[in-house]
Amino acid sequence: MDKTTDNTDKKNKKKENVRQEPAVRVKAADMIVSVLFLLIIFGFGIMIYVLPQKSFSEDENRSLQTLPSFESPGDFFKSLFSGKFGDDVGKFYADQFPARDVFVGAKGVFEAAMLKGQNNDVVFGKDGYLLTRFDNSDEELLKANINKLDTVLSKFDVPRYMIIPPRTQDVLLTKLPAGFPTDNADGLYERLDGIMADTSFGYIKLRETFIEEDAKGREIYYKTDHHWTSLGAYTAYGKIAGAVGFDKADDFNIVTVTEDFFGTTWSKAGAKWISPDSIQIYDTPDRESFHTDIMKYRDGSDEILKTLDAFYDESFLETKDKYAYFLSGNYADVRIYKDEADKKREKILVFKDSFANSLVPFLAVNYDIRLIDPRQYTGTTSSLFEGENYAFVLCCFNMDFLTTNTIRMA
C-alpha cells in the first residue's frame, strides 16, 4: 500500500480510495486462512480426478458429463476453437464435483434458512410438500399445442376428450405457504378455458375438483414429485367416466408398493430433509388378466419389446426413478389388453405424457388402450386410426408439458 505520490491532488484521491486494513496483524489468522484456502482448492481440485467418475446421477435422473476425450489432436483443436471444450470442461466440473450431493443439500438448507421459502423454483410447502413455482407460462405454446391436437384429430370421426392434469402449485392450495400468489394460475386457467372452448374437444376440467379434494385433505399429488398419486389419477378417472358416460369401477384393493419414493421436485430442491413418498396401486381382483405390451419401434410397427405384468415394472422400485414403475416409463407406443375370451372389449386411443401412466390402470378396467407418446412416436396419426373402431380418443397432457414442449404430430 505504500505509494510515492507527486502532488497533493493525487494524495487526496488515494486517501479516498485506499482500503483500510487492520492495525494489528494476527499471524495465526493469516496462516489459517491461507492454508484452508489452499487445502480446499488443491484438495477438491485433485479429488475430482482421483475419485471414480460417475456417468449417471440417480438423484437427478440424468447422465453426467465425463472427462472429454478425443480421437485425435485435430478433434481436440476443433473442440477447443468452437468453444465446446470449454463448455464441456465446465459441465464436467459441475457434474463430477466431489460430494456434489452434500453441496446441493447445503445450498438447500441455506436458502431455507434465509427464509426465501424456495430453492431452484421449488417451494417449501406445508406438511413436507415441495411444489414447483410457475409464475408465468408460455401461453402461446399452450394454445399452439392444443390447436395442433384439435386440428389433427378433428380429421377423424371419433369422439375426443382432453384432460390437462394441473401442476401442484395450481391445486394444492392448502399446501402452499401463506401469501403464495394464486392469481397467476387463476388467470392462466381462465384463459385455458377460452382456448378449449374454441376447440371441438370434450374438455374435462380437473382443477376445481382437485382443489376441493385437496381441501378435504386427500393426497392427490406426491409430496416430492410433480406427478399425481394413484388417488389423484383415480379422481381424474371418475371425472372422465362422468364426461364420457361409462361406469366407473370402485372395487379396488389399495396396495402400497414402496415407501421410499424421492421424486423430481426433491432432486431439484436440494431439500434433503424432506421425507419420501409412498406409492400405492389400485388392484382389481382380476389383475392377472391384464397385460401391457411395450412396442419396440417408434413408428407404430407391431414388434414387442417387452410385456409387463398388469401395468407395472417392478425393477424400477429398486431405482430412484420409482414413478417409472408405472408402464416402465415413457415409450412411443404402448398397448394394454385384458384377456377376455367371451366379451369383446372396446378400445380407446390415448395421446399422453407421463401422467397417463398411472391413470391407465383405471381406464383399463373399462377399455383396451393404445397409448401414444407424441414426443417419441414417429408414425402418422392416420395409421393409428386405420382399421380401428375406437370408443373415444383421449388427450392427457399436464399443464407443464403443454407450456414447455412443442407437440409434433403428423
Partner 1 sequence: MVFSSLEFLFAYLPITLLLYFAVPFRFRNLVIFAVSLVFYGWGEPVYILLMILTIIIDYVCGYLIGKYRENDRLAKRILIISVVANLGILGFFKYYDFIIKNLALIPFLSFLKPIGLELPIGISFYTFQIMSYTIDVYRGEGNVQKNIISFGAYVTLFPQLIAGPIVRYKDIDEQLNEREHNIRKFSDGVRRCLAGLAKKVLLANVAGEIFSKILETPFSRLSAASAWLGIILFTFQIYFDFSAYSDMAIGMGKMMGFDFLENFNYPYISESITEFWRRWHISLSIWFRDYVYIPLGGNRKGKFKTYRNLFVVWLLTGFWHGANWNYVIWGMYFFVLLVFEKAWFGEILKKIPTVFRRVYALFFIVIGWLIFYFEDSGAGFEYLKCMFANPIVADQTALYDIVRLLPFLIVSCVACTPLPRKLYLKLYDRFKAFPVAMSVVSACFLLLSVAYLVDSSFNPFLYMQF
Note the residues at the interface with partner 1 (CB under 8 A): 1, 3, 13-14, 16-34, 36-38, 40-42, 44-45, 48, 80-81, 83, 86, 89-90, 92-94, 97, 100, 103-104, 106-108, 110, 114-118, 120, 135-136, 179-184, 187, 270
With respect to partner 1, which residue has the nearer C-beta, 183 or 303? Answer: 183
- Name the minimum Å distance from CB 292 to partner 1: 36
- Name the minimum Å distance from CB 130 to partner 1: 15
- Residue 164 C-alpha cell reads as 390437462
- Name the minimum Å distance from CB 65 to partner 1: 12
- Name the minimum Å distance from CB 175 to partner 1: 15
- Given a contact cutoff of 8 angstroms between Cβ atoms, the answer to whether 130 and 175 are in contact is no
With respect to partner 1, which residue has the nearer C-beta, 96 or 235? Answer: 96
With respect to partner 1, which residue has the nearer C-beta, 39 or 255? Answer: 39
With respect to partner 1, which residue has the nearer C-beta, 157 or 183? Answer: 183
How are beta strands 290-295 and 118-119 bridged, if at all? unpaired
State whether residue 398 is helix, strand or coil: coil
With respect to partner 1, which residue has the nearer C-beta, 2 or 386? Answer: 2
- Name the minimum Å distance from CB 397 to partner 1: 22
State the SS3 of 184-225: HHHHHHHHHHHHHHCCCCEEECCHHHHHHHHHCCCCCECCCC
Report how far residue 163's alpha carbon sits from residue 397's, in angstroms, rounded to the nearest whole number. Answer: 7
With respect to partner 1, which residue has the nearer C-beta, 10 or 408? Answer: 10
With respect to partner 1, which residue has the nearer C-beta, 20 or 256? Answer: 20
- Name the minimum Å distance from CB 197 to partner 1: 22
With respect to partner 1, which residue has the nearer C-beta, 67 or 305? Answer: 67
> Phi and psi dihedrals of 324, rounded to 5?
-70, -5
With respect to partner 1, which residue has the nearer C-beta, 3 or 216? Answer: 3
Residue 99: C-alpha distances to residues 51, 54, 96, 198 (Å): 10, 12, 9, 52
- Given a contact cutoff of 8 angstroms between Cβ atoms, the answer to whether 370 and 329 are in contact is no
> Phi and psi dihedrals of 291, rounded to 5?
-150, 155
- Name the minimum Å distance from CB 276 to partner 1: 20
Report how far residue 306's alpha carbon sits from residue 323's, in angstroms, rounded to the nearest whole number. Answer: 18
Report how far residue 107's alpha carbon sits from residue 102's, in angstroms, rounded to the nearest whole number. Answer: 9
* 275: DSSP letter: P
- Name the minimum Å distance from CB 227 to partner 1: 23
Report how far residue 147's alpha carbon sits from residue 153's, in angstroms, rounded to the nearest whole number. Answer: 10
- Name the minimum Å distance from CB 179 to partner 1: 5
Neighbours of 191 (CB within 10 A): 14
Residues 6+ apart with CB under 8 A from 351: 149, 372, 373, 374, 393, 394, 395, 396, 397, 409
